[in-house]
Amino acid sequence: MPEPRILILGAGPAGAACAIGLRRLGYGVEIVADWRRFDAVEGVSQRVLEGLRHAGLSNALEQAAIPARRRVRWNGVDQQLNEECLLDRRLFDRALRDDLKQAGVEVIEGRVGGVDSDAQGHRVVLDGGQVLHADFLVEARGRQAPLASDRLRGPESVSLLNLWQGAEGEPFSAVESLEDGWAWMARLADGRCYWQISLDVSTSNLPGKARLPEYCAQRRRESALVSELFGADAWQAATVHARSSTAILAGECSGDNWLRVGDAAMAVDPLSGNGIFQSLSSALQAPAVINTLLRRPEHRALARGFHQQRIEQLFLRFARIGRDFYAQEQDKAGQPFWQRRQAWPDLQPIHLPSDYRQLQVQQRPVVRDAFIEPAEVVVSPDQPLGIWHLQGVPLAPLVRGLQAGSTLDQLLAGRSASEQIMLRSWLVAQGYPR
Q: CA 369 to CA 65: how far, in whole Å?
A: 32
**Region from 3-11, 56-64, 319-327, 352-360 binding ligand FAD, contact rule CB under 6 A:** 3-11
User: Phi/psi at 12 (nearest 5 deg)?
Assistant: -80, -170
- Residue 111, number of CB atoms within 10 A of its CB: 14
- Rounded CA-CA distance 216/358 in Å is 52
Three-state secondary structure string covering 116-141: EEECCEEEEEECCCCEEEECEEEECC
Question: Does 111 help bind ligand FAD (rule: CB under 6 A)?
Answer: yes
Residue from 162, 204, 254, 279 in contact with ligand FAD (CB under 6 A): 279
Binding status of residue 263 toward ligand FAD by CB under 6 A: yes
Interacting residue with ligand FAD among 7, 8, 11, 290 (CB under 6 A): 11
CA distances in angstroms from 65 to 11, 12, 46, 246, 424, listed in the order given: 20, 17, 9, 27, 37
- Is residue 365 a contact residue for ligand FAD (CB under 6 A)? no
Quick one: which segment of 5-13, 369-377, 394-402, 417-425 binds ligand FAD (CB under 6 A)? 5-13
Q: Describe the crossing of helices 89-102 and 13-24 by its angle, rounded to 10 degrees.
A: 10
* Distance, CA of 141 to CA of 267 (rounded, Å): 11
Q: Shortest gap between Cβ of 126 and ligand FAD (angstroms)?
A: 8
Is 270 one of the binding residues for ligand FAD (CB under 6 A)? yes
Tell which one of 20, 234, 247, 276 touches ligand FAD (CB under 6 A).
276
Q: Is 431 helix (H, G, I), strand (E, B) or coil?
A: coil
What's the closest the beta carbon of residue 270 comes to ligand FAD, in angstroms?
Answer: 4
- The full DSSP string for 40-61 is -EEEE-HHHHHHHHHTT-HHHH
Rule CB under 6 A: choose which of 4, 25, 36, 39 binds ligand FAD. Answer: 36
Among 199-207, 274-282, 291-299, 383-391, the segment contacting ligand FAD (CB under 6 A):
274-282
Q: Could you write out the DSSP letters of every residue in 322-338?
A: HHHHHHT--TTTTSHHH
Axis-axis angle for helices 300-327, 275-295 (nearest 10): 170
Q: Which region holds residue 54: left if phi is over 0, alpha if psi is between -120 and 50, else beta? A: alpha
Name the residue nearer to ligand FAD (CB basis): 12 or 365.
12
- Quick one: which of 7, 15, 344, 366 contacts ligand FAD (CB under 6 A)? 15
Relative orientation angle of helices 417-429 and 396-403, to the nearest 10 degrees: 70
Q: Which of 19, 21, 43, 195 binds ligand FAD (CB under 6 A)?
A: 43
Binding to ligand FAD, residues 404-433 (CB under 6 A): none
Which of the ranges 49-57, 135-143, 375-383, 408-416 carries the binding residues for ligand FAD, by CB under 6 A? 135-143
Binders of ligand FAD among residues 148 to 207 (CB under 6 A) are 159, 196
The window from 29-37, 49-57, 335-343, 363-371 that contacts ligand FAD (CB under 6 A) reads 29-37
Q: Are 197 and 179 in contact (CB under 8 A)?
A: no
- Give the shortest CB-41-to-ligand FAD separation in angstroms: 8
CB of residue 108 to ligand FAD, shortest distance in Å:
9
Residue 14 in the binding site for ligand FAD (CB under 6 A): yes
Phi-psi sector, 181: left (phi>0), alpha (psi -120 to 50), beta: left
Q: Which residues contact 16 (CB under 8 A, 6 or more apart)?
A: 31, 55, 57, 60, 96, 97, 99, 100, 283
Kindly state whether residue 285 participates in binding ligand FAD, applying the rule CB under 6 A.
Answer: no
Alpha-carbon distances, residue 418 vs 406, 412, 422, 424, 427 (angstroms): 21, 11, 6, 10, 14
Position 12 contacts ligand FAD (CB under 6 A) = yes
Which of 144/335 has CB closer to ligand FAD?
144
Please give the angle made by the CA atoms of 190, 227 and 334, to the nearest 5 degrees.
120
Q: Work out which of 21, 155, 275, 386 binds ligand FAD, going by CB under 6 A.
A: 275
Q: Which stretch binds ligand FAD (CB under 6 A): 9-17, 50-58, 311-319, 360-368?
A: 9-17
- The answer to the question of residue 90 lying near ligand FAD (CB under 6 A) is no
> In the bound complex, what is the minimum distance in angstroms from residue 36's beta carbon to ligand FAD?
4
Instruction: Check binding of 44 to ligand FAD (CB under 6 A).
Output: yes
Nearest Cα to Cα of residue 65 among 90, 93, 87, 41: 87
Choice between 100 and 427, CB closer to ligand FAD: 100
**Residue 273 engages ligand FAD in binding (rule: CB under 6 A):** yes
Residues forming the site for ligand FAD (CB under 6 A): 9-15, 32-36, 42-44, 93, 111-112, 140-144, 159, 196, 243, 245, 262-264, 270, 273-276, 279
